């Protein structure tokens, strides 16, 4: 009788990112395509971890073009070229960027609080996708409580529960602890994708890079050091 196929290796993946980070949207789409390619070999337990690109961003946000030019010191033409490269990378992995709608950069602390709550509710991955899509594809204000509550409801989370989280300040300490933890371990840019708490893949890498990393880490599990 033929041997049954081996069971998939279950990997913990910590996806450290921000919801206003375009390369995080690209990286997540690439990672998920890599997981599709390794289906049957790898099962992922993904945890979305907080990182704020602009922790001091005021509540009203800031004009996106001006912010990027000021923060990175690049002329308008270079900033526009960079944006077009991101749009093309997104399209290649099935993510739609509409930079005409994404006019402002927003504070994301409350979005991260909502993501922590969504993990406890078992809907974190769905909310992460909805937040990235809401910001980059639809141009929505992901700091606005009404908008956040509506996005949460769109993925099956209770809207009133989302409003309670947002209005109460719940999960704030958990977000701060998570941010400090990953910063203390050298994470300075995102996305940072950490497999099994020790193997780091940095940036919005192509699908093939994530696929190779998944296979290598899965193959190493259970083998003697």
Distant-in-sequence, close-in-space partners of 19: CB < 8 Å, separation ≥ 6: 108, 111, 112, 115, 128, 131, 132, 135, 142
Q: Which residue has the tokens 């700091």?
A: 143
Identify the pLDDT of residue 225: 38
Residue 68 confidence (pLDDT) above 70: yes
**Residues 214-225, mean pLDDT to the nearest whole number:** 78
Torsion angle of C-alpha atoms 141, 142, 146, 149, degrees rounded to 10: 150
Query: What's the pLDDT at 204?
Result: 96
Q: Answer yes or no: is pLDDT of 13 > 80.
A: yes
H/E element holding 47? strand 42-50
What confidence tens digit (pLDDT) does each residue in 93-129 have? Answer: 999 999 999 989 999 999 999 999 999 999 999 999 9
Q: Per-residue pLDDT for 222 more than 80?
A: no
* Res 51 pLDDT > 80: yes
Quick check: 38 pLDDT over 80? Answer: yes
Q: What is the mean pLDDT of residues 56-70?
A: 87
pLDDT at 140: 97
Distance CA 78, CA 81 (A): 5
Q: What is the pLDDT of residue 6?
A: 76
């Amino acid at each position: 009788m033929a041997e049954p196929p081996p069971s998939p290796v279950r990997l913990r993946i910590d996806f450290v990112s921000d919801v206003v980070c375009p390369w995080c949207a690209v990286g997540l789409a690439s990672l998920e395509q890599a997981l599709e390619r390794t289906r049957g070999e790898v099962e992922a337990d993904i945890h979305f971890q907080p990182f704020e690109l602009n922790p001091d961003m005021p509540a009203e946000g800031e004009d996106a073009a001006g912010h990027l030019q000021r923060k990175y010191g690049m002329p308008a033409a270079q900033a526009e070229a960079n944006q077009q490269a991101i749009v093309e990378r997104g399209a290649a992995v099935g993510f739609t960027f509409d930079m005409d709608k994404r006019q402002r950069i927003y504070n994301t602390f409350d979005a991260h609080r909502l993501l922590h709550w969504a993990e406890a509710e078992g809907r974190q991955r769905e909310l992460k996708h909805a937040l990235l899509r809401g910001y980059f594809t639809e141009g929505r204000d992901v700091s606005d409580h009404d908008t956040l509550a509506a996005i949460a409801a769109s993925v099956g989370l209770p809207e009133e529960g989302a409003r309670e989280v947002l209005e109460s300040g719940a999960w704030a300490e958990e977000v701060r602890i998570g941010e400090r933890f990953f910063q203390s371990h050298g994470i300075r840019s995102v996305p940072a994708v950490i497999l099994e708490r020790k193997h780091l893949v940095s940036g919005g890498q192509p699908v093939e890079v994530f696929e190779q990393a998944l296979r290598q880490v899965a193959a190493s599990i259970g083998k003697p050091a």
